[in-house]
Structure 1
Amino acid sequence: MRKRLAAFLFFMLVQTAFAQVPNSYYLPQNISYDPKIPTPQQYLGYQVGDWHIQHEQLLGYMKKVAELSDRVEVSEYGRTYENRQLLLLTISSPKNLANVDKIKADHHKLVEPDKSSSLDTKNMPIVVWMGYSVHGNEASGTNASVLALYYLAAAQGAEIDSILNESVILLDPRINPDGGERFSSWVNANKSNNLVSDPNSRELNEMWPGGRFNHYWFDLNRDWLYTQHPESKGRIQKFHEWKPNILTDHHEMGPNSSFFFQPGIPARTHPLTPKKNIDITELIGKFHATALDKIGSLYFTKEGYDDFYYGKGSTFPDVQGSIGILFEQASSRGHLQETQNGNMSFAFTVRNQFVTTLSTLRAAKALRQDLLDYQRSFYQEKSTSATKAFVFGGGNDKVKVWEMINILRQHEIDVFNVSKDEVLDGKTFKKGEAFVVPLSQPQYRLVQGIFEKRTTFEDSLFYDISAWSMPHCFNVPYSEAKIALTLGDKLTKNDFPKGKIIGNTTYGYVFEWDGYFAPRAAYELQKKGYKLKVSTEPFTGVFEGGTKNFSYGTVEVTFGSNQQADFAALKTLLQTLAERDGIDFYALQTGLTPSGIDLGSSYFAAMRQPKVLMLTGAGVNPNDAGEIWHLLDTRVNIPLTMSEITQVNRMSLEKYNTLILSSGDYSTLNEEKIKTWVRNGGTLITLTDAVEWAVAKGLSPVKIKTIPADTASFKPYALAERYKGAQQTSGAIFQVKLDPTHPIGYGYKDQTLSVFRDNNIYLEKIKDPYNAPLIYTNEPLVSGYVTERNKKLMKNTPSVVATSFGAGKVIVMTDNPNFRAFWYGTNKLFLNAIFFGSTILSGVRGGEED
């Protein structure tokens, strides 16, 4: 009795002081551990859970154990934006590691139907990928990975020998080092000697943007499919090298919850995922339940989370014949926190993640052959879809097609050239410009998951977005072929589509705004001191060998406008830009055109060099702001000043000509200061719910629709959450009518465009239709879920409105044109607002006359 009391008093003491726990709190007992492998405490100088591990400490321990253990190999699979290493550890028996290349090659044959039948899965090792803390402030996963490595490297006995002999374990200890370092620095710096559990404590409330995100404030857990960031590119390459049978994804959730493991809500599983995937996940879940029962931890399953969006970590494997498993641990968000379940220590959260790491490995061993056979049969199945292939390409932007192919080939999807010109659905796909992705290939489910449009669903709630169809994301022409097509050559490489200079001139050059990187080329020219003008009317240009029709938005750089510039250097610069940005520059012989405006016409409007300020900080949505930062910084090379609202309220805005308000709360922003700045010629761009601020302050004349209230007299209380959730537009694709003659529409040729929407902000029709370059069609839904009520609110209403306010312009966009960095098709709308906003002619005015 005295021993129990002493143990209880010790437990209470560590919860309120340093939270230090013995190794036995974490590690299985009654086994021995190799003394040559240092425990985490021996290496770090503190026990796991006492502090949040810094990235250099994490790297050091991983490399030290790999150096000392014949069970562990370590490799770097990438670097973050902040140049931090991303490590993957390969862990298995020494015998397996000595033969790891053959094991990998044999395992990969499971996904090759013409080779997999001959494989003897009875003796094949299973491959398990353990991924930790894709969200940097969900730190229990990363800290548990240290314990996992120690156990796998140092534990002795029959159980660990069996696991290592029958498994290859791939351990990714910190998927998001930049965010993880930001978070660990915060909580460690604000930790008190006497732990403070008050949720109001500074330690438990990170400063904006918090550690969840990577360097550019992206949620890396949404980047598994379209891989726009270095962390994802490197990880996915390794995933496809191995094609693991199980992939674990260790997360955290709100402090007042408990512990979740999959399966999630069955009705919200993507229809392309076989039911057997759910059945196996349930079997694996029994191992987690047994392990958590043993230590008395609360948990739940089949609620709260789903497996619909293939772009997140625990669902991406499900369309690869793997089993993705999401773990969600209630977060201490620091070292100790009060919760409705009592005080929760960081050590406790780490232990649950470590325990379910081990239960996953036990399940993998027990179900090894079932999992291997499932993956083999997954890839042996053939498509039963009426669609035989997806054909895409052509259009007026080769760069977007090039990036689509990059993504498809990264996922081991076979892409072919069209063998001849094809006409499908009234669209012509020309040989040499178009490509075919047949469904008669092993990755057919993933192909369907990437290309398909879906508008019917078993459930109306979604943990993430409900649509992500690639051709609509990229605004690239495509069609579904209902008959098998004769395929051309299979693509084995994908060279960037370089541009060129066409002809010679002593007069000037023009280039079209069609190409994705045209804004980057324009800014580079402006940065070098060249003055540019943009055509607001079509014209025909004369160059060596012929003429060409140029549309709205064509940019000119002429001798007449740049008499002080070094034109000998210009051609060299244009050659560099043509190759770098995939743009053709036309050397015009004369300013006199056969038709349309001449090059000296006033219908060529001066382009001002963007000097951009974006509001950041408390109240601003980091995801949406980060998308803008990433776009301007990595794709357009425009320096972006980012300042917090409090700073903007007291600083001068004179040096900026463009101000961006992304999604957020701007109630503390000095409206008179912004009005004065816009009135004096600035361009204000507001996105999604920031539109509400601009409207409320009288900067834009648009009116926001009032959403009708639910007038039902009675509804079951138990359905309230589901009903309210179903009314949200959580992420779907819609069609708008686009005006290519408007500056916001420059560079587009088609008069329809797919846009992404994840909010319920709807605008009333405006009086002057010339100021609404994008309007939803009468039947706007392309793909995804939306209620009939919301679809009705959207029909034939503006998506973008551009109006004058004094000498300036206010551009409101209800949709997000930069969503998750993969919505290439609408990036140009946003960039056009930056480059051409000041050229928009006055029409309907805001709160004042010009």
Structure 2
Amino acid sequence: MKIKNIILGALVLSLWNAEVLAQKISTPKSHFGFSIGDDYQLANYQQMESYFIKVAKESDRVLIQESGLTEEGRKQYLLMISSPDNLAHIDKYRTISQTLGRAEGLTDEAARKLAKEGKPIVWIDGGMHSNEMVGSHQLIETLYLLASSESQEIKNYLDKVIILMWHVNPDGQDLMADWYMQYINKDKRNMSIPRLYQKYVGHDNNRDFYMFNMKEASNLAKVMYVDWLPQIVYNHHQTSPAGTIVAGPPYRDPFNYVYDPLLVTGIDGVGFAMINRLNEEDKPGYVRMDQSTFSTWWNGGLRTAPYFHNMIGILTETTGNPTPSEIKLVPERLIPRNGLPNPIHPQKWHFNQSIDYSVSMNMGILDYAARNGDKLLYNFYKMGKNSIDRGNKDYWTMSPKHIEEMKEAYQDDISTKKQKITNSVKTRFTTIPSLYFDSILRRPENRDPRVYILPADQSDFGTAVKFANALIKSGIYVYQATQDFNHNGKKYPKKSLIIKTNQAFRPQVIDMFEAQDHPHDTQYEGGPPIRPYDAAGWTLAMQMGVSYDRSYEDVEGPLQRLPYGEMIAITSNVLPNSKGGYLINAKANDAFIVVNKLINIGEKVYRDGNSKNFYVDGRLKDKLKKASDGLELRIDVAAKKPVNLIEVKSLKIGLFDHYGGSMPSGWTRWILEQYGFEYTCFYPQDIDNGSIESYDILLFIGQGIPGRNDELTKFRQPDVDLVPQEYKHLLGQVSIEKSIPALKKYIDNGGKILTVGSSSELVYHFNLAVTDPLAVTEKDGKHTPLSSAEYYIPTSILQANLDVSLAENYGLDSSINVVFNNSPVFKLENRKDLYAIGSFQTEKPLLSGWAHGQQYLKDGSVGLVALLGKGKLFAFGPEITNRAQSHGTFKLLFNQLYN
């Protein structure tokens, strides 16, 4: 459907006359009752939504389109802003952007012609993190300026650029603004909300932009990667480093090796335009490059994910709040340098100043786009065309492991006298014979794959489909086999999925399948490592436990290319009658959905003690079919009823949370709901007052248990007097003195506790016969972790081994990929009442990312089970529920949620 047919307030071109030229646009003050940027004033989303709709009706420069619902049911809108003439031909310009971005079937000459005909598309968003109110409120001021200004500058931008504006998190805007404004006394206004500002994930909503679990992320993906394909994406955040106003581009090293060079230099060009704009307007305090913390390495953020789609992603972190603040004195930031060419002096700071900076940076980007529109569009095509070409031939992506392999080969040849030393003086950059380029770097096995094949007969094809659908949401096209086919001597069944790399968004394809190899830089030779800015490794196929084959040649066969943006269709299961009953494949995560649906309607489900699959009686055929419809799940007919059956019964689940909200707990809430597990949240006070006794199992995911050196957990606690009575039961800390004995009593009486990540400190509070290989215990008993110079593993993917004979590991393979983020590991001797579920068996378990000191993990257990009194403790070190992405380890949670 064309955009002009679905907008609110359709544009009527016949009214384009002198009266329209003089149209009156409602000011923000007339609508909200205050000027945007006034101290102590915030607008909620309901007010912003009505203003967006009002301006779209009043202005011939603005179109508005409904673009999906949030997790709490609010509407998200896409605002399209440009000149009336451009908006009258909006579908033409959108199609040009799509055509150039996908780069299929175009010659360079045709692309240049389209680039001159088109208009660059600039995306500007705000409101991602709801306590960062600068980002949401600059949208209001920018919209008004673009809709109302008669300046030649603004008209030039509108004539030459199409602007897309997007509010990222409407739910959080309402929650946070309403909370702040509820206090009549301005001095008491605060942002200490009682729960996460996105229903499930809070701040982690900016970690969901390759998985698209949340509705808001899926809505954005449809607009950005399927419908529009903007050339510049500007993602507003706050706050800046101390003593500065803005942190922005260009960013520090490293950038990801799969990017096209045009992307990196494109970021630089936009960044220079932004800082120049601020300097022209006498707005100091912009920090960048080595003076900031941000790199362009990781995937998954709203700013960073576009990089893997050849889009120039811009992040700024701008200081400021509705409550006036202060720019503090940082002596080192008073002297100009390349990373901070225009320092700012300490001073009082007001909300409107931050809004002004944000609007100025928006204008700087629009100015750049207006001056360089044809270049932005053509380079967008050029990056996509380069990707297609690389996917059609042998291509090698360089990474640190290849460089080290080459240098080691050269050193080996020197030691065996096959080569002579070519440099008499050792420098940082030394030369070696060119023959190593071809003999090492151009080895056939180091090539990038041209095709990835996901066989339909893998044990959990349903998860493979979820993985492929995440790719489709991000604008990747996927093929599906319409019949069985053969490739490289292997037979692949019908419905197998094929992802080719000869497409414009090839960087995204490679990044989702192949390991990330983050450089292991040091602060100086032999010095401590330079830590990654964020996640170091995230390879989604590895996290999800998907099975796939690489092919270095194109795949031909009975393949159907699925339309852009359309999810893979799931065919209904066909179940014949069966007197022997049915076996549900327990290796598939979706089996738990079916099991829970049946249990929740009162039907009995069993586990076959031999095959470990789930079993249901043949008389449940119709109910089983209804429960499994819409799922890619294997259900087999049993020849006869298995003899070794154990009934599966749900446990009453308590999930730990705290005031302000826990993101790991929130992700787990979402997972439990997707798979049909019923749960209730409990809080620190519930532990101390005995309310936990009503649960069969308690889940502590992430933070929840104090460290060995701490008396209490360290959850942020607001001023109790400012918290309404209805939320006071959420307050409190978990204490060693009172809470830990209560948990011990609970487990002695027959309860179960499951911990993940840092909450596994409970192992040591219970004084189990377990030691920590990543820490030293001092004479005074204090627990001292290894220093970061010795050991540090940010979010990365490691390989571990499991004991699959254990019930805790049913449905899993003996080799497993785990998401690891400085996670706990354990050393213990197996016995009947205390045993490990699996371990790291090598000194180099790293698969994807960065791991400094990984040798310390060897023989360390990734999880353990302790039988205590009448109950049981399950402790898992790695992040088995990581941001609802690590499907490959979900069963380590699910298996424990039945008796």
TM-score range, shorter chain: 0.7 to 0.9
1:77 paired with 2:67, answer yes
Match of 2:578 in 1: 504
SS of 2:680 mapped into structure 1: strand
Residue in 1 aligned with 2:146? 152
- Aligned equivalents of 1:644 and 1:251: distance in 2? 30
Match of 2:410 in 1: none
Q: Does 1:625 align with 2:689?
A: no
Say which SS state the counterpart of residue 578 (structure 2) adopts.
coil
SS of residue in 2 equivalent to 1:771: strand
Task: Tell me how far 1:67 sits from its aligned partner.
Answer: 0.3
Distance 1:462-1:826 versus aligned 2 partners, 3 A rule: same
Equivalence for 1:14? none
Q: The residue matched to 1:637 in structure 2 has which SS? A: coil
2:615 to 556, 564, 588: 556
Does residue 232 (structure 1) correspond to residue 217 (structure 2)? The answer is: yes
Distance 1:328 1:257, change over 3 A: farther
Matching of residues 601-612 of structure 1 within 5 Å: 601=644, 604-612=645-653
Determine the C-alpha separation between the residues in 2 that align with 1:45 and 1:33: 26
Q: 1:582 to 1:485 in 2, by over 3 A?
A: closer
Q: CA RMSD in A?
A: 2.7
SS of 1:684's equivalent? Answer: strand
Paired residue for 1:169?
163
**Alignment-mate amino acid for residue 662 of structure 1:** I
Cα distance, 1:512 vs structure 2: 2.8
Deviation at 1:797, TM superposition (A): 1.7
Q: Is the 2:258–2:511 Cα contact (8 Å) retained in structure 1? A: yes
Aligned counterpart for 1:388 among listed residues 438, 445, 450:
450
Conservation of the 8 A alpha-carbon contact between 1:247 and 1:324: yes
| 2:348 counterpart of 1:298 | no
Residue 506 of structure 2, aligned match among 432, 444, 456: 444
Would the aligned equivalents of 2:250 and 2:272 in 1 still touch at CA under 8 Å?
A: no
SS, match of residue 187 in structure 1: helix
Deviation per CA, 1:130-183: give whole Å up to 9, x if none.
1112112111111010011101110003222211111111011x2011222222
1:755 is paired with a residue whose SS is: strand
Q: 2:555 aligns with which of 474, 485, 508?
A: 485
1:431-475 CA deviation, whole Å, 9 max, x = no partner? 325332222222222211221113352644222211121221211
1:757–1:815: 8 Å Cα contact kept in structure 2? yes
Q: Give me the whole-angstrom Cα distance separating, in 2, the residues matched to 1:653 and 1:708.
A: 34
In the alignment, residue 355 of structure 1 is paired with which amino acid? S
Instruction: State yes or no: 1:810 paired with 2:860.
Output: no
Check the 8 A contact 1:284/1:363 in 2, yes or no: yes
State how far apart, in whole Å, the 1-side matches of 2:491 and 2:42 are. 55
Whether 2:179 is the aligned partner of 1:186: answer yes
Instruction: Specify the alignment match of 2:306 in structure 1.
Output: 317
What amino acid is the match of 1:307? T
Q: Deviations over 1:653-683 (max 9, x none)?
A: 3331110111114332412221122122221
Are residue 530 (structure 1) and residue 603 (structure 2) matched? yes
CA distance in 2, matches of 1:364, 1:42: 32
Of the three residues 670, 687, 697, the one matched with 2:766 is 697
CA separation of 1:142 and 1:827: change in aligned 2, threshold 3 A: same
Query: 2:240·2:317 contact (CA, 8 Å) conserved in 1?
Result: no
Whole-Å separation in 2 of the counterparts to 1:33 and 1:339? 42
Going from structure 1 to structure 2, the CA distance change for 1:432 and 1:571 (only over 3 Å counts) comes to closer
Deviation of 1:109 (Å):
1.4
- Measure, in 2, the Cα distance between the counterparts of 1:63 and 1:725: 54
Map of 1:10 onto structure 2:
none
Pair 1:783 & 2:848 matched: yes
- Give the superposition deviation at 1:362: 1.1
- Does residue 1:774 correspond to 2:824, yes or no? no
Give me the TM-score of the superposition, normalised by structure 1: 0.82
Q: Aligned residues: percent identity?
A: 20
Task: Answer whether contact 1:49 1:335 (CA < 8 A) is retained.
Answer: no
CA drift of 1:224 comes to: 1.4
Partner of 1:455: 517
Q: Does 1:49 align with 2:37?
A: yes
Q: Partners of 2:123 and 2:107 in 1: how far apart?
A: 21
Structure 1 residues 218 and 576, CA, compared in 2 at 3 Å: closer, same or farther?
farther
**CA 1:280/1:412 → structure 2, altered by over 3 Å: closer, same or farther?**
closer
SS of equivalent residue, structure 1 residue 647: helix
Unaligned segments of structure 2, at least 5 residues: 1-19, 329-345, 397-446, 522-529, 706-711, 713-733, 779-786
Once the 2 structures are TM-superposed, how far is the Cα of residue 251 of structure 1 from its aligned partner? Answer: 0.2
User: Who is 1:595 aligned against?
Assistant: none
Match of 1:219? 204
Q: Secondary structure at the match of 1:103?
A: helix
Residue 795 to residue 497, structure 1, CA distance change in 2 (3 Å): farther
The answer to whether the 8 Å contact 2:773/2:857 transfers is no
- Name the structure 2 match of 1:105: 95
**How many angstroms apart in 2 are the aligned matches of 1:34 and 1:739?**
75
In structure 1, C-alpha distance between the alignment counterparts of 2:158 and 2:31, rounded to whole Å: 24
Distance 1:709 1:339 in 2: 41
CA–CA distance in 2 between the matches of 1:232 and 1:412?
13
- In structure 2, the residue matched to 1:578 is 628
Contact 1:756 1:816 in 2 (8 A): yes
Question: Tell me, what secondary structure is at the counterpart of 2:592?
Answer: helix
CA deviations on 1:389-428 (whole Å, 9 max, x unpaired) are 222233211211111221222233232346865577xx95
- Structure 2 residue 538 is matched with structure 1 residue 468: yes
Shift of 1:584: 4.7
Q: What is the 5 A alignment of 1:638-677?
A: 638-666=677-705, 667=712, 668-669=734-735, 670-677=739-746
Aligned residue in 2 for 1:24: none
Counterpart of 1:114 in structure 2 is 105
SS in 2 for 1:689: helix
Normalising to structure 2: TM-score of the pair?
A: 0.78
Q: Secondary structure at the match of 1:183?
A: helix
CA–CA distance in structure 1, aligned partners of residues 214 and 824 of structure 2: 30
Q: Which of 226, 229, 236 does residue 243 from structure 1 map onto?
A: 229
**Residue 830 of structure 1 aligns to which amino acid in structure 2?**
L
Q: In 2, Cα distance between the equivalents of 1:313 and 1:443?
A: 16
The separation in 2 between residues aligned to 1:301 and 1:185, in whole angstroms, is: 34
Moved more, 125-134 or 183-192: 183-192
Structure-2 change in CA distance of 1:299 and 1:262 (3 Å): closer
Q: Closer, same or farther in 2 for the Cα pair 1:709/1:451, shift >3 Å? A: farther
Say if 2:826 and 2:860, in contact at 8 Å, map to a contact too. Answer: yes
| Of 347, 350, 353, the match for 1:348 | 353
1:259–1:327 CA contact under 8 A, matched in 2: no
Q: Distance in 1 between matches of 2:887 and 2:490?
A: 22
Task: Call closer, same or farther: CA 1:786–1:315 in 2, change over 3 Å.
Answer: same
Instruction: Write the letter of the residue equivalent to 1:818.
Output: T
1:55 & 1:803 partners in 2: Cα distance?
49
- Where does the alignment leave 5 or more consecutive residues of structure 1 unmatched? 1-31, 197-201, 539-550, 560-566, 592-597, 711-722, 839-850
Cα drift, residue 327 of structure 1: 0.9
Shift of 1:650: 1.3
Distance between the aligned counterparts of 1:297 and 1:456, measured in 2?
33
- Judged with a 3 Å threshold, the aligned counterparts in structure 2 of structure 1 residues 125 and 706 are, in CA distance, closer, same or farther, namely closer
Identify if the C-alpha distance between structure 1 residues 269 and 458 changes in structure 2 by more than 3 Å, giving closer, same or farther: farther
Alignment-mate amino acid for residue 661 of structure 1: F
Give, in whole Å, the separation in 2 of the partners of 1:206 and 1:619: 7
Moved more, 508-517 or 75-84: 508-517
1:330 alignment partner in structure 2: 319
Task: Supply the AA of the counterpart residue of 1:272.
Answer: V
Partner of 1:7: none
Aligned partners of 2:790 and 2:253: how far apart in 1? Answer: 14
Say yes or no: does 1:96 pair with 2:86: yes
Amino acid at match of 1:768: R
